[in-house]
Amino acid sequence: MSKKTLTFALMDAPYESANLTTAFRILDAAIRRGHDINVFAYEGASALAFVRQAPHPNPVHGKNVAEENHPTTKEQVAALLAEATRNGGKVDWVNCGMCVDERGVNEFVPGTRRGSPADFQAFTEASDNTLVIPTK
């Protein structure tokens, strides 16, 4: 299979929607195949890579922090970046600058960057295909 460049636009905020679970699964599958990936994290999705996310215990389940092992999307973003490195692909993960400013989430997982809609425009021009996973 030839290497492709694929762009994804994500919009949902962490912990709000099953859309992101689907998005991370698709990204994982593409990255495992060595494709180059661009992500434009827009609106609520700009918080996916926010580095100050912290796991928490689950008192209803009676589990402490370690036992609950609560997922954070920052860990998942970092795992995608590392997986791309292992598979010979690259990930350009852009967090919408205005979106992170209005949410106060302007501290990112290393390897992701601040950007703008101009990056998304450039991504789509340079990609074999683009998938938008919008907020519904």
Partner 1 sequence: MAKKSLNIVESAYRAIMEEQDDTILWLLAAMQGAGGAHTVVLRGNAVNYAVAGQGAPGLTVGQWTQTQVPKMDRDVVDLIENRKIPVFVIEEDLAERGIAHSELVPGVELLSCKALPALFAQYELVSHW
Contact yes or no for 128/6 (Cβ under 8 A):
yes
- Closest separation in Å from C-beta 13 to partner 1: 9
Residue 6, SS3?
A: strand
From residue 24, alpha-carbon distances to 19, 77, 101, 109 in Å are 9, 8, 24, 16
Closest approach, Cβ 131 to partner 1, in A, equals 17
Scanning 20-28, 36-44, 112-120, 128-136 for contacts with partner 1 by CB under 8 A, the matching segment is 20-28
Which of 67/107 has CB closer to partner 1?
67
- Nearer CB in complex with partner 1: 28/124: 28
Q: Which of 5, 58, 116, 135 binds partner 1 (CB under 8 A)?
A: 58
Which range touches partner 1 (CB under 8 A), out of 24-32, 98-106, 109-117, 121-129? Answer: 24-32
- Asked if residue 136 binds partner 1 (CB under 8 A), the reply is no
Bin 107: left if φ > 0, else alpha if -120 < ψ < 50, else beta. beta
- The helix (run of H) or strand (run of E) holding residue 92 is strand 91-96
Name 41's bridge partners: 10, 95
